[in-house]
A and B are shown apart, each in its own frame.
Chain A
Amino acid sequence: MLIRALKSREMILALAIAILIGLIAMQFPGFIAPDNLADAFNDTSPLIILALGQMIVILTRCIDLSVAANLALTGMLVAMINTQFPALPIPVLITIAIAAGTVMGAINGLLTWKLDIPPIVVTLGTMTIYRGLIFLLSEGQWINAHEMSDSFKALPRHEFLSLPLLSWIAIAITLAFIVLVARTPLGRAFYAVGGNPNAAVYAGIDVGRTQFLAFTLCGALAGLTGYLWVSRYAVAYVDIAGGFELDVVAACVIGGISIAGGVGTVIGAFLGAIFLGVIKNALPVIGISPFAQLAISGAAIIIAVAFNARSSRRKGRLILKHEEAVG
């Protein structure tokens, strides 16, 4: 049992992160100071939240490339509402952010479910549409720090037990996802749909509806992150989080979420995001050329994925087996 646990992908990834942090500390000892690690974790929190949303989408054999655009559009929306109505309480704005994100996720889900368009095509399209909408909404203008209300910017920075609220939100969502995935019928359905859609139908699971729900949940999280992102960096413009959807997918893949669907764990996605976050936060402080930085983050992703591909030859946790295997 212990040996199996040690051999699990999550454990190996956790070890890889520990080794990585060790190597960085040899170059820059200040990196392992608790304050700095907390900073790095806080910085990685948006990636964690988005990676969890992306994880359930990937589990159902789909992919959501529109998460960063969804985030940017929601962020712009709440920033604009905040500048127009500074008195509006922040919980209302967060509700609006989640609602807007949910709607955008649901659009992805509906197009995939009802029109049967491949998810990569749907979300590639909506990604561009959402980015375009930001431009139409803002007319290319920036929303700047001094235009946002103080309470709008303060929320993710609010400290509780010496960690900012942004970090706590990421932790809370991770815990909620562990329960969702392991203990609810919907969570099990995500695996079943991705593991074997045909068998899932026989088990009474509506494949399209499950995928729709995965997209919707992913959209809701992207919406929430939209508010958090804009308030944290105190600026909203068309290009925020440009290309971030690729980081999110990379975090999932590093975390051992199989692109073929049906395989992956919440802890895996969480650690995958942490792994990328550590690299992103360490590169600026260890003083290497910006060109080498790009190559290093790329190499790290490929090594992690190659490693995963090797270890995933062992069959993952398919809870509904292939017909051939059964009979």
Chain B
Amino acid sequence: MKLLKKVLVTAAVTALMTTTAQAETKRIALVVKALGIGFFEAAAKGGEEAAGEIGDVELIYTGPTDTTAEGQIEVINSLIAQKVDAIAVSANDQDALVPALKKAMQRGIKVISWDSGVAADGRMLHLNPSSNALIGNMIVKLAADHLPDGGDVAVLSASATATNQNIWIEEMNKVTDQYNGINVVATVYGDDLADKSYREAEGLMKSHADLKAIIAPTSVGIVAAAQAVSDAGKAGEINVTGLGLPSEMAGHIESGASKSFAIWNPIDLGYSAVMLANSLIDGIEAAPGAEIPMGRMGTLTLDDNSEGAMADPFVYDASNIDDFKDIF
């Protein structure tokens, strides 16, 4: 009798404890490269959607005010102090964030990177918006599609140390040979500043008289380059393409400075990042080969490096820009 009572009490207490643990809100931090960038604002929307769907998740959308690794480290340290349950970060630097993120993992915080990755020992998994090879191929294909006879193209990147930019450009260079006559003449860096990118684009037009296309795999760069091409009266002559947001590029598609560009859906990306973080909090192991559920986006299959790709990039041009420009 006594024993039975003891067992029952223990069971009740355990049940109570588990229910309280479940009822407690999970706090997931979505850390972006910098606040106030359209792409990340859209990702935050997706994150909110995921949080709403899961129910007991509080989303903390945060990041530094400029795109520096130091700023992100401060943000991460403060999140550790707040004892959040998971951190999902788009990194400004592949290596600089590792010590801070390791500290977070030691405190039991689940850490994933998304969009721009962190070195393997600084996170549990990395969510690529698409596969790097597909993006690299896509950006040069976008330029080549409008250059049947080939021609000179140049790349306008963000900063020279941006992880994702460098990988895409590397992948692009691997496949450029497959496109007839496409010749990459220069790679320049606009540091994701509108004025510097504009100047770099002007410089490209001046130093390469036969330039036919500018590939800018960055949302700040592509807008600035398109504006520089319009201002130089070369809209239609030089095609600005790469990765951009429909809302930011709508005017330049209309003016003809850009014929087409691509982007994955940042809303889906933010959504998937939060879903993955939630799956890890719920106890799913992130190991090579694992398949981790991410809500309506299906599952993410991890490779040997614990990385996975969300979806193919999507091409926007004059035919579909109006459907998307008000969304993100």
Query: Which B residue's beta carbon lies closest to that of A31?
Result: B206
Q: Is the CB of A284 within 8 A of B66?
A: no
Q: Residues of B within 8 Å of A, CB-based: how many? A: 39
Q: Is the CB of A157 within 8 A of B231?
A: yes
Query: Which B residue's beta carbon lies closest to that of A148?
Result: B251
- Shortest B202–chain A CB gap in Å is 7
Query: Quick one: which of B34, B41, B189, B254 contacts A290, CB cutoff 8 A?
Result: B189
CA distance in complex: A242, B325 (Å)? 26
B207 at the interface (CB under 8 A from A): yes
A198 at the interface (CB under 8 A from B): no
Q: Is the CB of B198 within 8 A of A233?
A: yes
Given A233-B195, A285-B207, A291-B160, the answer on whether A238 and B223 have CB atoms closer than 8 Å is no
Given A145-B227, A281-B202, A290-B159; 15 other pairs, CB 8 A cutoff: A135-B35, A144-B251, A145-B250, A145-B251, A237-B36, A237-B37, A237-B38, A237-B194, A238-B35, A238-B65, A239-B36, A244-B195, A280-B199, A281-B203, A284-B207
Q: Is the CB of B223 within 8 A of A140?
A: no
CB-defined contacts of B223 to chain A, threshold 8 Å:
144-145, 234-235
- Shortest A26–chain B CB gap in Å is 14
CA distance in complex: A73, B224 (Å)? 19
Render B237-261 as a binary contact track against A, CB cut-off 8 A, 1 for contact. 0000000000111111011000000
B193 at the interface (CB under 8 A from A): yes
- Shortest A191–chain B CB gap in Å is 32
B48 at the interface (CB under 8 A from A): no
- Shortest A108–chain B CB gap in Å is 20
Given A237-B38, A241-B195, A290-B160, the answer on whether A30 and B206 have CB atoms closer than 8 Å is yes
CB-defined contacts of B37 to chain A, threshold 8 Å:
140, 237, 239
CB-defined contacts of B193 to chain A, threshold 8 Å:
239, 242
Q: Is the CB of B207 within 8 A of A233?
A: no
Can you show 22 pairs from A to B with CB atoms below 8 A apart? A30-B206, A43-B202, A135-B35, A135-B36, A141-B41, A142-B247, A144-B247, A145-B255, A233-B224, A233-B227, A234-B251, A237-B194, A239-B37, A239-B66, A240-B195, A241-B195, A284-B188, A285-B203, A285-B207, A287-B207, A290-B159, A290-B189
- Shortest A144–chain B CB gap in Å is 5
Query: Which A residue's beta carbon lies closest to that of B65?
Result: A131
Given A135-B35, A135-B36, A281-B199, the answer on whether A235 and B204 have CB atoms closer than 8 Å is no
CB-defined contacts of A140 to chain B, threshold 8 Å:
35-38, 41
CB-defined contacts of A8 to chain B, threshold 8 Å:
none
A28 at the interface (CB under 8 A from B): yes
Query: Which residues of chain B from 160 to 178 have a CB within 8 Å of any chain A CB?
Result: 160
Given A28-B207, A242-B193, the answer on whether A142 and B248 have CB atoms closer than 8 Å is yes
CB-defined contacts of A141 to chain B, threshold 8 Å:
38, 41
Q: Is the CB of B194 within 8 A of A240?
A: yes
B200 at the interface (CB under 8 A from A): yes
- Shortest A300–chain B CB gap in Å is 16
CA distance in complex: A39, B228 (Å)? 11
Q: Is the CB of B227 within 8 A of A284?
A: no
- Shortest A152–chain B CB gap in Å is 12
B9 at the interface (CB under 8 A from A): no
B297 at the interface (CB under 8 A from A): no
Interface residues of B (CB under 8 A from A): 34-38, 41, 65-66, 159-160, 186, 188-189, 193-196, 198-200, 202-204, 206-207, 223-224, 226-227, 231, 247-252, 254-255, 325
Q: Is the CB of A287 within 8 A of B186?
A: yes
A83 at the interface (CB under 8 A from B): no
A146 at the interface (CB under 8 A from B): yes
- Shortest A142–chain B CB gap in Å is 5
- Shortest A139–chain B CB gap in Å is 8
CA distance in complex: A295, B15 (Å)? 64
Q: Which 7 A-B pairs give the minimum distances between C-beta atoms? A: A284-B203, A146-B251, A238-B36, A145-B251, A290-B189, A290-B160, A140-B36
Query: Quick one: which of A36, A142, A240 contacts B206, CB cutoff 8 A?
Result: A36
Query: Which residues of chain A from 140 to 159 have a CB within 8 Å of any chain B CB?
Result: 140-142, 144-147, 157
Q: Is the CB of B194 within 8 A of A285?
A: no
A174 at the interface (CB under 8 A from B): no
A95 at the interface (CB under 8 A from B): no
CB-defined contacts of A290 to chain B, threshold 8 Å:
159-160, 188-189
CB-defined contacts of A229 to chain B, threshold 8 Å:
195
Q: Is the CB of B194 within 8 A of A235?
A: yes
